[in-house]
Amino acid sequence: MSTMAAISLNSRPEVLPSYFTNDSVGYAVNTTNMTNLENRGPSDTALYIGGIIMLIALLCGLFGNFLVMIVCFTKRDLSNIINIFIISLCINDIINLGFNNSLVLLSYFLGTFPADMLVCELLQHLTVLLMGSSLWHTGLIAIHRLIVVVFNTFYKKISKKAYTIFVLIFARVVPLLFIMQPSLGSMAYYEPKLIRCVVKKDFGPFTLLVSVFLMMLPSVILILCYIAIFIKVHQSSKSFRGSRQRDWLKREIKITKMFGMIFLLILVGYLPYGITRAIDKKLQWNGDFYVAITVFFAVANSSNPIVYGIMDKQIRSACFQILGLRPVDVNKNGGPITMHSKISHADTCVDTEDLPLNSSPGKAV
């Protein structure tokens, strides 16, 4: 059956774009799901509703990530290693939202993919690459949290700048290696039912390597680090008597939980689509369902700034201030900072990572 007849099943454009129908890439259009009406693509209603939701999530996500980046860049008291990691994650999110989600959104409104085959394939790869980069960020940040909380003496000796640079480079280089290969440009085919490109079955080993090195490995690293952190905290928290040590512990655990939430958002957003594709290999499930899980993925991708705002009081206060919603800084209790309280406020805002978890109770550090 011709691709023209297949597309007409969806009451959308009568023909595929020319770059999907010429002789060089015509084979790259899937025809296995074009045999009956049950396997047709998503309905127009699902595409329009999904597109509207994705548009709202896209605008909110871009605004939130840019806002978080601005306050982390401009506020001197937010200049620390943790916020450098946050800025790096925001950059990932902005690229993902600005390129990947925008193209998917546009394809939902148009009913067909709006660019050529190479861009279609790059979209597929970049989605996985940026997800892997974000997961490696959280995995390497988990190692950072482990060193800070559990091996604080060692943390004092290492170069913070060197480790920060290592995280920022490694978390991007490793995923990038998976798309720098000779087969790029011929690894995927256009799937009208999904209105996007998917990796061919011939590249199963590639897909497996991506799953292991970009998803499973950083996830295992994070889980093991978090288990070690919370075991150590549970063992040591009873001996804390000094208020500064308790404040330090609360702050570090809150930061650790924040990046844990970012990790969960990435997985919760990606897993439904990944699991569905693994089960429904012949793409027999309803096209509207694929729209729903794609929209869910897009909303999860846009939600990271909400986590930063909810779980980091300084970022939240700085965002409110820059928006004119809260004209003054706030202290740790949420009240305004007066001249009398600035000294104590500054003490809580300094880099407390140098406070050792295993220091003697009650001793000043």
Residue 339 has pLDDT above 50, yes or no: no
Whole-prediction pTM: 0.77
HEC secondary structure over 109-172? HHCCCCCCHHHHHHHHHHHHHHHHHHHHHHHHHHHHHHHHHCCHHHHHHCCHHHHHHHHHHHHH
Contact (Cβ atoms closer than 8 angstroms) between residue 44 and residue 52 = no
In which band, very low, low, confident or very high, does the pLDDT at 192 lie, cut at 50, 70 and 90? confident
Q: Which of 254, 95, 289, 108 has the alpha carbon at shortest distance from 195?
A: 108
- Looking at residues 138-145, what average pLDDT do you find? 90
Return the structure tokens found at 111. 């009913």
Answer whether residue 164 shows pLDDT above 70.
Answer: yes
Under the phi-then-psi rule, with left for phi > 0, alpha for psi from -120 to 50, and beta for the rest, what region is 7?
A: alpha
- Provide the pLDDT for residue 17: 56
Residues ≥6 apart with Cβ < 8 Å to 327? 321
Residue 9 banded pLDDT, cuts 50, 70, 90: very low
* Cβ atoms of residues 6 and 20 within 8 Å: no
Q: In one letter, which amino acid is 330? A: V
Residue indicated by tokens 């009956």:
36
User: Cα dihedral sign for 51, 53, 54, 58?
Assistant: positive
The Cα-based distances of 211 to 24, 128, 163, 214, 300 in angstroms read 30, 9, 26, 6, 19
Instruction: Read off the pLDDT of residues 50-68 as tens digits, 9 standing for 90 and up.
Output: 999 999 999 999 999 999 9
Q: What is the pLDDT of residue 58?
A: 94
Separation CA 3–CA 93 (nearest Å): 35
pLDDT at 53: 95
